[in-house]
């Protein structure tokens, strides 16, 4: 099964990130490769997935090799978004042996981490299959990697929450405390956003807060750390009041608990672990000749 990203990843997003990653690793030079490999020596190498996964980051990995050897020949055997089984060859590279060796770890770091995000997302998506809920990410991302990680979430079948502080109002507990209450915080945000430049999301912790914010008409109400019974009641209350308001469940859901949340009727379930705790996938690069 292939997961197709909702938005294509522009190479301009990652070229500089790859350049910095290579510079960080190479420093004054790859002393091992420089000592052991003839500069003109050619080689062929394959990238292998060693676990079941959703692939993410093939183009980024290839960029690492291209930056050190513009003439490298890339043969993709799989595409970003593909589900792969162990021992699957996902790509083949032919080029200067030294460049392949020097870029290997940087290429794998991108591919393993992003495939880990996509794979964990896919597991959560599978866990709620058959419900109307969708899995979404958060801003709990690796600094400098946000667009890459959120793209990987899409490849795994999830959807993206706001990208940053600029594309949606999100009123949380501390905003509400500073504003004099959750309802007051939404009202103030609405006054500042009369032309509806950005959507207004608000986090609620109980049914009283849900009732408090409904009159202000936010675009999304987030149900934070509520039990399933409270969430069902909140969903019924919100739907009866305004069918257009999105409802999101938040609160540290795991693969074992996420389906119960999905079955309450919420539209979205946010999972911070997709980006802050996804394990890197087991992958390797092997030389196979010239």
Q: How far is 59 from 181, CA to CA, in rounded Å?
A: 47
For 82-137, the pLDDT digits (tens) are 999 999 999 999 999 999 999 999 999 999 999 999 999 999 999 999 999 999 99
Does position 2 have pLDDT exceeding 50, yes or no? no
Compute the chain's Rg from CA coordinates.
Answer: 23
Confidence of residue 197 (pLDDT cuts 50, 70, 90): confident
Long-range contacts of 232-235 (CB under 8 A, 24+ apart): 232/264, 232/265, 233/207, 234/204, 234/207, 234/210, 235/264, 235/265, 235/266
Q: Which are the catalytic amino acids?
A: 105, 140, 172, 203, 224
Which residue carries 């009041």 as its tokens? 241
Confidence of residue 1 (pLDDT cuts 50, 70, 90): very low
Mean pLDDT value across residues 226-234: 97
The larger pLDDT score, comparing residue 151 to residue 3, is at 151
- Average pLDDT of the chain is 93
Q: How far is 283 from 50, CA to CA, in rounded Å?
A: 5
The residues, any chain, with a CB within 8 Å of residue 40's CB and separated by 6 or more, are: 96
Q: What is the pLDDT of residue 69?
A: 97
For 31-53, the pLDDT digits (tens) are 999 999 988 899 999 999 999 99
Q: What is the pLDDT of residue 196?
A: 75
* In the chain, % of residues over pLDDT 70: 97
Q: Where are the alpha helices (DSSP H) in 38-79?
A: 58-68
Confidence of residue 8 (pLDDT cuts 50, 70, 90): confident
Q: How far is 237 from 218, CA to CA, in rounded Å?
A: 14
3-state secondary structure (DSSP) of residue 94: strand
Q: How many CB atoms lie within 10 A of CB 5?
A: 17
Q: How far is 179 from 185, CA to CA, in rounded Å?
A: 5
Nearest Cα neighbor of 176 from 194, 192, 189, 163 is: 189
Q: What is the pLDDT of residue 7?
A: 59
Does position 266 have pLDDT exceeding 80, yes or no? yes
Structure tokens at 17: 């990130």
Give me the domains of the chain, ranges plus CATH numbers: 11-119+279-289 (3.90.1170.20), 127-276 (3.20.20.70)
Mean pLDDT value across residues 73-86: 95
The larger pLDDT score, comparing residue 189 to residue 234, is at 234
Mean pLDDT value across residues 136-147: 96
Packing angle, helices 182-192 and 207-214, rounded to 10? 30
Q: Tell me, what DSSP letter sits at residue 157?
A: T
């Amino acid at each position: 099964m292939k997961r197709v990203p909702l938005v294509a990843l522009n190479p301009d997003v990652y070229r500089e990130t790859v350049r910095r990653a290579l510079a960080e690793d190479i420093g004054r030079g790859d002393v091992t490769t420089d000592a052991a490999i003839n500069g003109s020596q050619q080689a062929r190498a394959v990238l292998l997935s060693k676990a079941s996964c959703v692939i993410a980051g093939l183009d980024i990995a290839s960029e690492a090799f291209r930056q050190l050897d513009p003439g490298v020949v890339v043969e993709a055997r799989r595409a970003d978004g593909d589900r792969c089984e162990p021992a699957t060859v996902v790509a083949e590279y032919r080029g200067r042996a030294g460049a392949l060796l020097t870029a290997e770890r940087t290429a794998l770091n991108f591919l393993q981490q992003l495939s880990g995000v996509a794979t964990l997302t896919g597991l959560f998506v599978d866990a709620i299959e058959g419900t109307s809920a969708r899995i979404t990410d958060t801003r709990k991302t690796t600094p400098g990697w946000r667009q890459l990680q959120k793209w990987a979430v899409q490849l795994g079948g999830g959807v993206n929450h706001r990208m940053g502080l600029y594309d949606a109002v999100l009123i949380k507990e501390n905003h509400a405390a500073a504003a004099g209450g959750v309802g007051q915080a939404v009202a103030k945000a609405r006054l500042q956003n009369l032309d509806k430049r950005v959507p207004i999301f608000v986090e609620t912790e109980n049914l009283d807060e849900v009732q408090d914010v409904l009159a202000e008409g936010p675009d999304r109400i987030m149900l934070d750390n509520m039990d399933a019974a409270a969430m069902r009641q909140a969903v019924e209350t919100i739907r009866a009041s305004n069918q257009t308001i999105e409802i999101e469940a938040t609160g540290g859901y795991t693969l074992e608990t996420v389906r119960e949340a999905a079955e309450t009727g919420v539209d979205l379930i946010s999972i911070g672990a997709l980006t802050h705790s996804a394990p890197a996938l087991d992958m390797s690069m092997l030389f196979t000749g010239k």
